[in-house]
Amino acid sequence: MDTVQTQICIAGAGPAGLFTALFLEKYGIACTLVDKSFFPRDKICGDGISGWVVDVLEELDTDLLLRFHRQDFLLPSYGMRFSSPRGTVLDIPFLQERKIKEIPPGYIAPRKEFDNFFIEEIKNNAKYVQLLEGKEIVEVKEESDQMHIHCRDGLRIEAEVVVLAAGAMQPFQKVFSQYRADGSNTMLGLRTYYKGVKGLHPENYIELHFLKGLNPGYLWIFPQPDGRANVGVGVAKARVLKEKKSLKKILQEAIEQNAYLAKRFEDAEVVAPFGAHPLPLFYKKLPLSGNRFLLVGDSAGLIDPFTGEGIGHAALMGKFAAQTLQQAIRQHSFSAETLRQYDEQVYKTIDKELSISKKLPGILKHDWLFNLVADRVAGSPRLQDKLAKTLSNLDERKKLKNPWHYIKHIFR
């Protein structure tokens, strides 16, 4: 049986594993990055790359960010389009100003190309990252003061610490995570690509439509660089189970039964297979680390419960994981106590944002309230400006926690 020995093993090379590896490379720390796939590989996703990712990339390496920015597979995005259950449509620009002027607030990028860009970076330029592709991990076990990572083909990796970054609902990670998926903390997402969708915003706004009969839950349209659009629905798992309707049917009916969307899709055509995948949503603060392990990205279950965004959190957690490991190496300890600083850093940064997002579906699940808010905002440039600031600034978003804040602004 083949054995690989390494100090740090990263299990999974999606955004969480990739950013952990890239930050470790920056700090000159060796690691082994393992994935079951050979790259490039697809990943079912909406392809929306938010400002969080750009912020983390900027901190990682501005040259890498500029090289990334020049890639043909990217579309810069400058705002967000919402529609309410009544059909009020709102276009809200992102107001974020970046240090590097040419860098936009966010992007849209097919995940196959997005993930592969960083894989290529590792293959071509990394000195400290050993990448193992096509290795499916079946079990991770702590044995005699080591982590043993067992792959389906018989390879065993012996590591002092393991970064669990293999995405949502992977059985071998369950032993380490207290996240338990149920109908209320899991969303099911279905994605396909269409060509010929009309009325896309000239500045490539990402679109979230909160439709009658779909709320809480939404339909998204994210334009692609080749003129196609990534289109999908995100619906609470409990609801899918209750209604016994396929996600494909939910998506098709949502388009057909909404006059605004039906018009925009009248000449559109599905050009890719439908693919579904669960989204583990944040529901409460759970431990993110323990003796000799860290949970990073979807393995930790920290997807934003309102927007479904997870790539930004995965990138940010990758940065904090690498920083924690750097500290742990200095302290010669991968104990639960040493690694706990990771939980503190992650929650200090995204807890506020996640708690707000956790409350929003509850507030906006009432169609009448959603309609009221959307109509007031649509009729008021002052409120539109306020919302643009809120979308671009966490301190402003914090105030949404308090429903009186809305009411005050809506009825002023």
Ligand X SMILES: Cc1cc2nc3c(=O)[nH]c(=O)nc-3n(C[C@H](O)[C@H](O)[C@H](O)COP(=O)(O)OP(=O)(O)OC[C@H]3O[C@@H](n4cnc5c(N)ncnc54)[C@H](O)[C@@H]3O)c2cc1C
Q: What is the CA radius of gyration of the chain?
A: 21
Binding ligand X (rule: CB under 6 A), the pick from 79, 189, 223, 361 is 189
Position 43 contacts ligand X (CB under 6 A): yes
> How many amino acids of this chain bind ligand X (CB under 6 A)?
39
Could you say which of 6, 10, 14, 283 contacts ligand X (CB under 6 A)?
14
Cβ distance to ligand X smaller for residue 88 or 96: 96
State both tokens at 388: 């643009």
Among 9, 34, 54, 103, binds ligand X (CB under 6 A): 34
Q: Which is nearer to ligand X, 44 or 387 (CB)?
A: 44
Q: How far is the CB of 376 from ligand X (least distance, A)?
A: 28
59 vs 375 by CB, closer to ligand X: 59
From 9-17, 282-290, 381-389, 403-411, span contacting ligand X (CB under 6 A): 9-17
* 207 near ligand X, rule: CB under 6 A: no
Per rule CB under 6 A, is residue 308 in the interface with ligand X? yes
309 touching ligand X, by CB under 6 A: yes
Q: Does 51 participate in binding ligand X (rule CB under 6 A)? A: no
Q: Is 361 in the site for ligand X (CB under 6 A)?
A: no
Residue 110 binds to ligand X (criterion: CB under 6 A): no
Site for ligand X in 124-183 (CB under 6 A): 136-137, 165-167, 170, 172
Chain residues that interact with ligand X, rule: CB under 6 A: 11-17, 34-37, 43-48, 50, 136-137, 165-167, 170, 172, 189, 191, 232, 277, 279, 297-298, 303, 308-312, 314
